[in-house]
């Protein structure tokens, strides 16, 4: 029997990824840039146990279908030359599957815990490549601070990994998460972006513009230009949702409170409080705030009708063993 535990933090993309260029190795169609969130994380303990007849997985108290996890652990078992069944116990300190990137922190924590428990010692880059197999955004949660995920060009996926851009200390941005619904979303991102023949007419334009958006964001981050980083983040978010809305059938992840919170963020800016929204495949709104502005932005968002809860966080660290 061998066991290991790891913590990985959730992340939110500022320049979004959507679409895969290859599904078997989960290769993204575009690169992305994200911030890792300190206060939203997954803790995972993995036990390889010879006595287990089959893999087992729990998220919180609930037993979950092991299919997606077993497939992932198989990659590690093959690399380690073992066939032992595994017990996975995972907890998120935030709602699971609700557009708060639980698959990002979940698969990053699972990559680290499983490889350690299997006796493998992977580099951060190798962990990022492995985490990507579970979920595209998980590759980014291996690193803290501001992170860039490379699309890569190779067909074996060895150049499709994330890399750190800036540590959390180097630019202590804040993020306020406005939770508008704690339910599980009906169509997760993998399902949403998987079908090639149902995707949007705008898809080619999305892929073709991605490199320019990434280059603009890299330059704005290097200059610590918060206004440009924020404006690019809102633009990438709205472009992603235009793509989702125009998929057939259209994916509508927003509810009324999501839209109210977006307007509230723009009103804050009109009133001198600089924040910018971003939204993933779910109804939660995340506001990117300049260092020291999180408390004021959280107070404003808490007043928006339909916002159930706000969470305020700084940028988090790398995934780590526990």
Q: Which residues bind ligand PMV (CB under 6 A)?
A: 13, 16-18, 32, 103-104, 135-137, 189-190, 280-281
CB 197: neighbour CB atoms within 10 A?
5
Judged by CB, which is closer to ligand PMV: 56, or 151? 151
Nearest distance, CB of residue 16 and ligand PMV, angstroms: 4
Q: How far is the CB of 141 from ligand PMV (least distance, A)?
A: 9
Closest listed residue to residue 66, CA positions, set 57, 74, 75:
57
Between 13 and 40, CB nearer to ligand PMV: 13
Q: The dihedral of CA 161, 165, 169, 172: what is its sign?
A: negative
Nearer to ligand PMV, 234 or 300 (CB): 234
In angstroms, the CA 72 to CA 78 distance is: 10
Report the distance separating Cα 117 and Cα 5, nearest Å.
8
Q: Rounded distance, CA 129 to CA 275, Å?
A: 32
Choose between 87 and 280: whose C-beta lies nearer to ligand PMV. 280
Nearest distance from residue 139's CB to ligand PMV, in Å? 8
Helices 102-117 and 67-80 cross at an angle (nearest 10°) of 30
Query: Which pair of tokens denotes residue 191?
Result: 């399902």
CB of 150 to ligand PMV, least distance (A): 13
Nearest CB to ligand PMV, comparing residues 4 and 138: 138
Taking the complex as a whole, how short is the minimal distance between the CB of residue 53 and ligand PMV, in angstroms?
30
């Amino acid at each position: 029997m061998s066991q290991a535990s790891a913590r990985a933090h959730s992340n939110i993309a500022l320049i979004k990824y959507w679409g895969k260029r290859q599904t078997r190795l989960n290769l993204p169609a575009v690169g992305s840039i994200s911030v890792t969130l300190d206060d939203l994380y997954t803790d995972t303990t993995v036990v390889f146990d010879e006595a287990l007849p089959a893999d087992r997985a729990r998220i919180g108290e609930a037993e979950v279908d092991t299919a997606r996890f077993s497939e992932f652990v198989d990659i590690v078992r093959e690399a380690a030359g073992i066939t032992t069944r595994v017990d996975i116990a995972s907890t998120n300190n935030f709602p699971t599957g609700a557009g708060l990137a639980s698959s990002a922190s979940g698969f990053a924590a699972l990559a680290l815990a499983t490889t350690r428990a299997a006796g493998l010692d992977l580099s951060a880059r190798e962990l990022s490549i492995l985490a990507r197999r579970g979920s595209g955004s998980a590759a980014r949660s291996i690193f803290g601070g501001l992170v860039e995920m490379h699309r890569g060009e190779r067909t074996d996926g060895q150049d499709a990994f994330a890399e750190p851009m800036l540590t959390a200390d180097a630019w202590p941005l804040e993020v306020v998460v406005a939770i508008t619904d704690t339910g599980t979303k009906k169509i997760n991102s993998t399902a949403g972006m998987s079908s090639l023949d149902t995707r949007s007419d705008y898809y080619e334009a999305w892929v073709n513009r991605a490199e320019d958006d990434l280059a603009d964001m890299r330059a704005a981050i290097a200059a610590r230009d918060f206004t440009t980083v924020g404006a690019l983040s809102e633009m990438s978010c709205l472009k992603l949702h235009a793509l989702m809305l125009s998929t057939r059938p259209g994916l509508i992840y927003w509810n009324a409170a999501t839209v109210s919170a977006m307007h509230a963020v723009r009103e804050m800016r009109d009133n001198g409080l600089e924040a910018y929204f971003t939204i993933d495949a779910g109804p939660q709104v995340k506001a990117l705030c300049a260092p020291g502005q999180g408390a004021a932005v959280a107070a404003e968002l808490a007043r928006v009708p339909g916002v159930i809860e706000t969470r305020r966080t700084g940028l988090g660290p790398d995934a780590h063993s526990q």
